[in-house]
Amino acid sequence: MKLLEERIRRDGKVYAGDVLKVDSFLNHQIDVELLSLLGKEFYRLFGDCGVNKILTVEASGIGIACVAAQSFHCPVLFAKKSKTSNIGNDFWSATAHSYTHGNDNTLIVSKSYLGKNDRVLILDDFLANGCAALAMSELCAQAGASVAGIGVVIEKAYQKGGALLREKGFRVESLARVASMSPEEGIRFCD
């Protein structure tokens, strides 16, 4: 989406360690009007896939998931990051390595809210190495839910996540694909 690319180019800041900060409109302060357009774009891409639930992970996926859900007319389920791996029998759980914090998180969702009748759209703010999306797909597999696709706002296409998920057969749609970025040379998008 050109609008999103322009906004990233204008307001995004590239940090060492391959981290793109978009705190002014996506990850800290939220431009709800922009997110509303992004949500509608996800609906244009996945609206005919029978989605009845959007799954994301706390905290930064929740905003985009909620605005998208207004178009899909379905609930949002966000995976919580558990402090302990010993979380009992009422949860589906999967481990994800955190790209930004460098630690492993156990993602959990209640068995009450994810089951075999669910057709899930996985949404997240960023796609880097694919750990978060893969863990969410694992939660769906445990629950017997089917995955309609994976939508991300910003894919860093030079990192391995996109290829990994597509190789596994998931349909992955990104609203902006970063081809390369560095503090010196800025951000370049895929054609």
Per-position DSSP letters for 67-109, written without gaps between them: HHHHHHT--EEEEEEES-S---SSEEEEEEE-TTT-SEEEEEE
Which is closer to ligand 5GP, CB of 13 or CB of 44? 13
Which is closer to ligand 5GP, CB of 51 or CB of 134? 134
Exposure class string for 167-183: b at 16+ Cβ within 10 A, else e: eeebebbbbbbbeebee
Which is closer to ligand 5GP, CB of 29 or CB of 86? 29
Which is closer to ligand 5GP, CB of 65 or CB of 145? 65
CB of 42 to ligand 5GP, least distance (A): 16
What are the C-alpha distances in Å from 156 to residues 71, 78, 80? 26, 22, 24
Among 4, 64, 122, 127, binds ligand 5GP (CB under 6 A): 127
Nearest to 120 by CA among 50, 71, 58, 22: 50
CB of 61 to ligand 5GP, least distance (A): 6
Tell me: does residue 27 bind ligand 5GP (CB under 6 A). Answer: yes
Q: Which region, judged by CB under 6 A, interacts with ligand 5GP, from 17-25, 73-81, 84-92, 139-147?
A: 17-25
Footprint (CB under 6 A) of ligand 5GP, residues 145-184: 161
Alpha carbon distance 173, 186 (integer Å): 23
Q: Which region, judged by CB under 6 A, interacts with ligand 5GP, from 4-12, 71-79, 118-126, 142-150?
A: 118-126
Residues 6+ apart with CB under 8 A from 92: 108, 109, 111, 114, 139, 142, 143
Tell me: does residue 25 bind ligand 5GP (CB under 6 A). Answer: no
Question: CB of 165 within 8 A of CB of 130?
Answer: yes
Tell me: does residue 78 bind ligand 5GP (CB under 6 A). Answer: no
Q: Which residues bind ligand 5GP (CB under 6 A)?
A: 19-21, 27, 57, 60, 99-100, 124-132, 161
